[in-house]
Amino acid sequence: MSLLSLSARQAQTLLRVGFSRSFLASSVLLSTPSDFDPRKLTRSQWRSRLDPEVFRVVREKGTEPPFSSEFNNVKGPGEFSCVCCSQVLFSTDEKYDSGSGWPSFTGPVLESSLKTLKDNSHGMRRTEVLCKNCGAHLGHVFTDGPSKERPLRYCINGIALKFNPE
């Protein structure tokens, strides 16, 4: 759990004084009570809990700009969890530099933490990756991974993640 809990308004104030969206997404769990059940939240409730850009990406299936995530260069040991529900998703052990502009992984910590769906939007045939616990849009998985032994590339929006260093 995060060390800090903020309302969306408080988060906006921190953004205005210079904190980055990625920092807030990775470090702050916005207004999360202990009895939080992400599967029961309405669209309106998600909108009030999340920074507008985080909401656009994870709840409206958006994409952050390439090379905009502070997590592109994270190399130290740790895990990445869902910004919406804190479900552990990926590890730095599986992270690599794909050159795509988004944090890339060869696989999740547990396959059961993710859900995939066919995505034919924008005239492309892709496989969407979602957090199985809360349904947050994370990104896409492609078959152009770093090697034959590791053929998958999970191309994930950094804004959809929180980094938990070991």
Of all residues in the chain, the percent with pLDDT exceeding 90 is: 73
Report the pLDDT value the prediction gives residue 75, as an integer from 0 to 100: 87
pLDDT in tens, 84-142: 999 999 999 999 999 999 999 999 999 999 999 999 998 999 999 999 999 999 999 99
**Alpha carbon distance 100, 8 (integer Å):** 30
Are 155 and 141 spatial neighbours (Cβ–Cβ below 8 Å)? yes
Taking residues 34-58, what's their average pLDDT? Answer: 90
At residue 10, does pLDDT exceed 90? no
Q: Is pLDDT of 156 > 90?
A: yes
Distance CA 136, CA 84 (A): 7
Active site residues: 155
* pLDDT of residue 48 exceeding 80: yes
One CATH from 1.10.10.1100, 1.10.1740.10, 2.170.150.20, 3.40.1390.10 for 8-165: 2.170.150.20
- Provide the pLDDT for residue 38: 86
Taking residues 6-15, what's their average pLDDT?
54
Phi, psi of 140 (to 5 degrees): -140, 160
Residue 24's pLDDT band, with cuts at 50, 70 and 90, is low
What are the tens digits of pLDDT across the range 61-77?
A: 999 999 999 999 998 99
- For the beta sheet containing 88-91, the strands, ordered from the edge strand earlier in sequence to the opposite edge, are 88-91, 78-82, 161-165
